[in-house]
Chain A
Amino acid sequence: MRANSSHRAAVTPYLFVGPLFLVFALFYLWPTIATVASSAFRWGMLNPWQTQNPADWQFVGLSNYADTLNSGDFWNAALNSAIWLIVFPTLVLATSFPLAILIWNTRRGASFFRSVFVIPMTISLSAAGVIWSFIYNPDVNKGVLNAVLHVFGLDKASFVFGPLELHAGRWLSDPGILHLGFADIRLVNLFIIIPAVWAFAGFGVITFSAGLTSVPAELIDAARVDGAGRLQLVRHVVMPSLRPSILVVGVVSVIFALRTFDIVFVTTGGGPAQDSEVLAMLLWKQVFQFLDTPQGGLAAAIAVLMSVAMIVIAMPYIRATLKEQR
């Protein structure tokens, strides 16, 4: 009897976890293994690499990785993804953190302001891209941004400030370049990131607002009795309490930044030329747009490289988040 019940106790957890794990194994673990394995073969989507027909396998070792790392297209997309990885989380934090602090300090209207910033959070990045295409419309009679600039006579202005070359008006076609010497940063990426930040900042605002309620009131009072100024208060009392929130927002926006596909797909499709092509887009084009060429292995190699990069970048954050949760 006793042995029986302890046996049951040992099995019960697996009955709870089992169903989710089964779905995970079939639709995540196995495809992941297949991606990694297929990156060592030469194949195209018309005749995809599959375990059940080993006769078709064309083993090429690591040459898909070598070809990828030697291709200009890859490094172009990697640079654009790097821009996303740096600029997107920075802008999300730089907008949502101050907004949340400001809202926290209002006496009235906090919920109104919070709603204004949080509502776009439910908007998909693809819809955000469509919506902002209206704002960016180069026709001054249709696009708000250019209409406003037109009033100041700036809608067709071109500027050169040192390494920065900016053409107003053509936000999604040819907004300019930042020459950094080792790399040319295409500004079109920035103008795709802005709508993404617009849509995503609400997640930061709502997360920080929730976090701010956990700042102990006694701590704030004590700091003010000690004569702390407003900025000191934010820096020494509020910031430490918000560390878990900052981590969550930072990690989630980093994760989103590397996955970016939707908003690029609807705004520019990776163009003009390949100026806004990110890794996710390059991979998708290679495998699903050129079905007849055997680029599947190359795309799989890109997927593996992206995942490795993400794990390397995000691991310390995830560890820290999990530790804070314990």
Chain B
Amino acid sequence: MKSRWPMFALYGVLSVASIFWLVPVATVAMISILPLDQSSKGWWHADLSTATLANYGRVWEHGLSGYTLNSLIISLLSVAITVVLGTLAAYAFARMAFRLKGTLYFLLITTMIVPVQIILIPLVPWFRTLGLNQGSAQYLGISLVHTAFGAGWALFMLIGFFSQIPDEVLESARIDGASEFQAFLRIALPLSVPGIISFVIIDFVFVWNDLLMGLTLLDSDHRPLTVGLANLQAPQLNQDDIISAGSILAILPPLILFAILNRYYVRGLFAGAVKG
């Protein structure tokens, strides 16, 4: 039984808060489907029969298609590398004893705390040295930076899941002659799918939403959508219509991913770090 709060007060407060939370999204959504001459009179008394998707078409052709593709490549590549390398490492930290464990764990976990600015400046000449500053190699370069920077998060979240697997399950696999790697691949990984999915969501959202790295490390043909959107912001040009459509395009992919996988994410949170 939960305590009984006065229900009208409860729903009243929640409804008012919901309106505050929804107005910004509603504003952008409305401006994005209205012609400029309608939205500049105030979207709240616009003529809805003029609604159109033309703004989306225009912003797409305005260059956002390229930025969107860049964002997709960078996000998928980063998440893929981070998940593969992160699960391997997290499994070792959760299930094995080794001499440098404490030191390595501490070093990797510092990526959660230390601000990204500590690596930003030397990365530019470093990419040049490694040949990661031109063409498609830039995708790989920034993805590896995202992987390094996401290492702490990956371990923080994934170790929790791997350490919850009962000893007997992995032990029986070893008795059957499975190597440590086979036990990881066939037993530990499938059992940790909810945890891995909640990490995938967080990491995808994190990488997709990055502006600073993309702005600093990539040339203008390879920059992500966040940079493209920021470039549209020019107060002297009256282009609220395409800026709003661009914002919606930028927030949709992580939102869709979250909506599809939300169930796993919540389950992952329930089982993982938060419960301790």
A interface list, Cβ under 8 A from B: 10, 12-14, 16-17, 19-21, 23-24, 26-32, 34-35, 38, 45, 48-50, 52, 99, 102-107, 109, 113, 116-117, 119-128, 130-135, 141-142, 144, 147, 195, 198, 206-207, 209-211, 213-214, 217, 220-221, 224, 230, 233, 244-245, 248, 255, 258-259, 261-262, 265-266, 279-280, 283-284, 287-288, 296, 299-300, 302-304, 306-307, 310-311, 314-315, 318, 322, 324-325
Contact = CB atoms under 8 A, between A and B. Distances in A.
A210 B121 contact: no
Contacts of A52: 129
B3 A224 contact: yes
Given A20-B151, A124-B251, A35 B118 contact: yes
B79 interface: no
A117 B124 contact: no
Contacts of B28: 131, 134
With most chain A CB atoms within 10 A of its CB, the pick from B2, B121, B123, B205 is B121
A307 B98 CA distance: 29
A310 B121 contact: no
B266 A210 contact: yes
Contacts of A125: 209, 211
A128 B211 CA distance: 12
Interface in B43-97: 44, 81, 84-86, 88-89, 91-93, 96-97
Nearest to A322: B109
B101 interface: yes
Contact of A198 (B5, B21, B244): B21
19 contacts: A19-B84, A20-B147, A27-B149, A34-B126, A102-B10, A113-B14, A119-B25, A122-B251, A122-B258, A123-B209, A124-B251, A134-B27, A135-B23, A144-B23, A147-B42, A259-B116, A262-B212, A280-B115, A296-B121
B85 A20 contact: yes
Nearest to B100: A14
Contacts of A49: 122, 125
Contacts of B119: 27-28, 31-32, 35
Contacts, number: 301
Given A20-B85, A34-B126, A244-B275, A130 B121 contact: no
Contacts of B98: 10, 13-14
A300 to B, nearest CB: 6
Given A134-B240, A258-B115, A16 B89 contact: yes
Given A141-B41, A325-B276, A107 B148 contact: no
B1 A224 contact: yes
Given A255-B113, A280-B115, A214 B275 contact: yes
B148 A27 contact: yes
A279 B126 CA distance: 23
A303 B121 contact: yes
A139 to B, nearest CB: 8
B24 A135 contact: yes
Interface residues on B, range: 35 or more
B247 A130 contact: yes
Nearest to A30: B126
Contact of B274 (A126, A224, A245, A283): A245
**Chain A binding site: helix, strand, loop or mixed by DSSP?**
helix
Contacts of A322: 109
Contacts of B13: 102
Given A27-B119, A211-B275, A279-B117, 18 more contacts: A13-B98, A19-B85, A24-B108, A27-B123, A35-B119, A35-B121, A50-B129, A102-B10, A124-B209, A124-B210, A124-B226, A126-B209, A126-B229, A131-B247, A141-B42, A198-B21, A213-B270, A244-B273
Given A207-B274, A244-B276, A104 B2 contact: yes
A203 B125 CA distance: 36
B158 to A, nearest CB: 11
Interface in B205-241: 205, 208-212, 215-216, 226, 229-230, 233, 240
Interface in B151-200: 151, 154, 160, 180-181, 184
Nearest to A300: B121
B11 A106 contact: yes
A117 B110 CA distance: 30
B99 to A, nearest CB: 8
B146 to A, nearest CB: 9
The 9 residue pairs across chains A and B that have the minimum distance between CB atoms = A124-B209, A16-B92, A34-B122, A31-B119, A13-B98, A27-B148, A28-B148, A20-B85, A20-B89
Contact of B276 (A119, A195, A288, A324): A324
